[in-house]
Amino acid sequence: MSLAPLALGFAALVVLIAAGAWYFLANRAALVTATAPAPVAGNLGSPAEAAHLSIVVLPFTNLSGDASQDYFADGITENLTTELSLIRNSFVIARNTAFTYKGKTVDAKEIGKELGVRYVLEGSVQHDQNRVRVNAQLIDTESGAHLWADRFEEDLADLFKLQDQIVARLGSSLGYELVKAEAERGARSKSPDAIDLTMRGWSLLYQAGVRPDKDTINAARASFEQALKIDPNDADALAGEANSYGVEYFYFANPETDYDAKVIGQADRAIALAPDTMAAYWAKSIQLFFSHRFDEALRTTDAGLAINPNYAALYAPRSLANASLGRFEQAKSDAQQAMRLSPRDPLIGLFHVHLGSAELGLGHFDAAIDDYHKAIDLGMQNNMWPYASLAAANALAGKMDDAKTALAEVHRLKPELTMKSLIPLAPPIPNLFDGLRKAGMPEE
């Protein structure tokens, strides 16, 4: 397959593959089950020797002024502890130990020494009759630096349902932040292990997805290959290597490379070794989508989501597969679920593209237009795909001036784009193709 058509309008979806760096660690829990008092430094070592992705979730503080509401803050603490324990290769201090710190003023550096963890998560909960507010911050126990902080504010409805939503959102954000922090640590290590190398590879792969560069893709793959030399059965490194070939396929396809073997084959091997390797389902589903095996892509996303239904990223290829099969209501639901699980996701603009495509398929042209504008505003202003979709939606809505303006942006970004080059890559949505033709997209 030639390079030119693959580098065209659907490049946004390639970013989705590389962004598996944010989500690649999942499941295979390593939850600490200690019920005794907190272990001391002599037992677990200093923070410099602490395990990868080692963390304690301190009891969230109830700021409601009503001690009877402690159960809600405690529930978030407990459920978030369980959620983080699902991160692959994680070391999460059990709730019984964490709760010995409840109500105490503590220093993150001291906790790191006492528990042998690299990170502390602390937060607070406040709710009145109508709203719930949750604040959380991630702290590096070695430096005391605040690595990340966020705030969630939601309308009060079913408290336990809301608790689950908050935990899922925090878990998604933290998964990205922890991996990013670990990748930076690995880059400074003089003797990186397989996990260091794998995380470094994902960091490079993300860079390549955002800003395509063959050298960066090769460097990422080299990192995964080094990790596999240390541990040939490292499922995360196998999934990373599969994703590196996926990014290469869409940006710099080599006609001599068997990408099904390199992407799907490696992903299948990772899944066989560790069925909870979520990034492997990700790579495989995207490769199946782009080779128009939509039913297989859907089965792959569903297999992954059966293991971890909170893995927001997999709802994106699921939305694509359902839209390609004409199941637009389900595609809409999938895109919305991705956004519910990860409302501050760096790929939120791409989720809006998927939602817009579902609305376009349903004939909801104004809703589609709104989502495509949101996608552009949320970081996709330099990608032609939302503009192409916007041109189609505007044309079908009878807004021809707006359609022409959007199409002009498409041709500014991709002057060579035609219907012939776009159709093999886009989800087969009749309204998309009809709208682009109406807007004036040339056939060849």
The 10s digit of each residue's pLDDT in 294-310 is: 999 999 999 999 998 87
CATH 1.25.40.10 range(s) for the chain read: 3-24+191-439
Token pair listed for 332: 């809409």
DSSP state of 68: G
| pLDDT value of position 335 | 95
161: number of Cβ within 10 Å: 9
pLDDT tens, position by position, 233-243: 999 899 999 99
443 by Cβ neighbours in 10 Å (0-12 / 13-18 / 19+) ranks as exposed
Residues 141-166: what's their mean pLDDT?
77
Whether 228 has a pLDDT exceeding 50, the answer reads: yes
Sole residue written with tokens 């042998």: 116
Lowest-confidence pick of 128-142, 161-175, 205-219, 346-360: 161-175
Is 169 in contact with 150 (CB distance < 8 Å)?
no
Alpha carbons 62 and 140: distance in angstroms, whole number: 23
**Integer Cα distance of 374 and 348 in angstroms:** 9
Judging by DSSP bridges, how do beta strands 146-155 and 91-92 pair with one another?
Answer: unpaired
> Each residue of 326-381: pLDDT tens digit?
999 999 999 999 888 777 676 788 899 999 999 999 999 999 999 999 999 988 88
Mean pLDDT computed over 109-136: 86
Tell me if the domain spanning 3-24+191-439 has CATH number 1.25.40.10: yes
Beta carbons within 8 Å of 421's beta carbon, 6+ residues apart: 4, 5, 8
Measured distance CA(82)–CA(315) in Å, rounded: 22
Query: How far, in Å, CA of 318 to CA of 325, rounded?
Result: 11
CATH topology of domain 41-188: Rossmann fold (3.40.50)
- Alpha-carbon distances of 217 from 8, 103, 149, 338, rounded to whole Å: 19, 48, 31, 27
Q: 19-46: per-residue pLDDT in tens? A: 443 334 443 333 333 333 333 333 333 4
Write down the pLDDT at residue 186: 58
For position 399, what pLDDT does the model report?
97
C-alpha span between 98 and 118 (Å, rounded): 15
Query: 88-102, 176-190, 204-218: which range is least confident on average?
Result: 176-190
C-beta of residue 24 within 8 angstroms of C-beta of residue 17: no
Please state whether beta strands 131-140 and 61-62 pair in parallel, antiparallel, or not at all (unpaired). unpaired
Q: Do residues 436 and 419 touch, judged by C-beta distance below 8 A? A: yes
Q: How many CB atoms lie within 10 A of CB 378?
A: 18
DSSP characters over 193-256: -HHHHHHHHHHHHHHHHHS--HHHHHHHHHHHHHHHHH-TT-HHHHHHHHHHHHHHHHHH--TT
The more confident residue out of 356 and 253 is: 356
Which pLDDT score, from 0 to 100, does residue 28 have? 34
**152 or 55, greater pLDDT:** 55
Longest dimension (CA), the chain: 72
**Amino acid (1-letter code) at residue 389:** S
Domain with CATH 3.40.50.10610 in the chain: 41-188
**Tens digits of residue pLDDT in 9-24:** 344 444 444 344 333 4
415 CB neighbour count, 10 Å cutoff? 7
d(CA 226, CA 288): 27
Tokens of 378: 């949320």
Positive or negative, the Cα torsion across 71, 73, 76, 81?
A: negative
| pLDDT band of 180, cuts 50, 70, 90 | low
- pLDDT, greater one: 328 or 145: 328
Strand-strand pairing, 146-155 and 54-57: unpaired
Q: Given a cut of 50, is residue 388 above it in pLDDT?
A: yes
pLDDT of residue 273 exceeding 90, the answer is yes
Backbone torsions φ then ψ of 402, nearest 5 degrees: -65, -35
C-alpha 365/C-alpha 284 separation (Å) is 31
pLDDT digits (tens, 9 = 90+) for 409-424: 999 998 999 999 888 8
Q: Do residues 231 and 258 touch, judged by C-beta distance below 8 A? A: no
